[in-house]
Amino acid sequence: MTDMAGVSTRVFVIFFAAMLLLVNSGNAQEAPLKGRDAELYGLAQKDIGQFARQLTKGETSELAEAQRIVRWLATNFEWKFTDYQKRTVQQIVDRRGGNCDELAAVALAAMQALGIRLRRVHEINIYTNSPERGSDSDAMIKDKGLAYSVFGRHHNDHVWLELYDSRANEWFPADPSSGLVGNFEWLKGRVWFGKRATLNPLTNDMIVPFAIFAADEKGEFTIDRTRHYLVDEFDRLYGGRLSKIPVWRDWVAGLEFLDPKAAAALSGTLNLHDYETRIDALADTYEQLRRASMH
């Protein structure tokens, strides 16, 4: 098990190092697309289903198909800041970029064309502390309602997808703005304590999620995935060592306290800013856990 984990880690790092070099060189997002990428983009503009079928040709599992689509979008589309404009999938494709919600919409349409079972995921994460963001969010809450409390001084929201892989009989994360697909990649890119490699320019600001909900058949975020990712899978990533650290109890307790508050904020029935001190405390707990894990 140790040798396989080491191989997986090296493969992950090598893959994303190459991807990050591509992005940083400007070829992926600033220069015009060339070769097969240009052809695929032309297909996406005309027929998102044809694009998806061409891109994933030869793959034999839903997970592998999702990896092809998510990584292509994260590499060839530009991440753009939220401007609160409503766009169709066609408009997002023509724009060749968007925020996390918009990129997830394109990936959703492409994967649905392949018959993959999908559900949208909404998370709230501990974010780099910014009083200015807090003030902006306070103004949005007054103007548009409590649902805008999902971002603030020390937290932010993020949208991605879960896909169902019939071979594994399991739901897996797929984040089109970060290029992360599958439990291992997502955990290494979003929760672990070391340097993270994703294709999202906000990776270093999104410190760690603290609430994760998947959408039900009605499109409401009622399927609680917080414990799955942030307790069970997080501890498994470190071989079960985290749960043996005393401060782990505080981490779990903090998640359990904030989880229903986050759910209410997502539904627009609670102001999450009322619990900023608890978010601050959970951020401190995560840092304590990080330091303790190094000993």
pLDDT of the residue at 16: 45
Q: How far is CA 200 from CA 58, 59, 177, in A?
A: 28, 25, 6
The token duo for 130 is 């910014």
pTM over 0.85: yes
**162 vs 120: CA distance, rounded Å:** 6
Provide the pLDDT for residue 104.
97
Q: Which two tokens stand for residue 246?
A: 């005393």
CA distances 228 to 171, 232, 236, Å, are 11, 5, 10
The span from the CA of 188 to the CA of 193, in Å, is 8
> Domains, the chain, ranges and CATH?
2-293 (3.10.620)
Distance CA 146, CA 272 (A): 8
Other C-beta atoms lying within 10 Å of the C-beta of residue 223 = 16
> pLDDT tens per residue, the chain (295 residues)?
333 344 344 444 444 444 443 344 333 445 688 899 999 999 999 999 999 999 999 999 999 999 999 999 999 999 898 888 899 999 999 999 999 999 999 999 999 999 999 999 999 999 999 999 999 999 999 999 999 999 999 999 999 999 999 999 999 999 999 999 999 999 999 999 999 988 888 888 999 999 999 999 999 999 999 999 999 999 999 999 999 999 999 999 999 999 999 999 999 999 999 999 999 999 999 999 999 998 8
The predicted structure's pLDDT at residue 30? 56
Half-sphere exposure of 12 (CA within 13 A, CB side): 21
**260, 213 in Cβ contact below 8 A?**
no
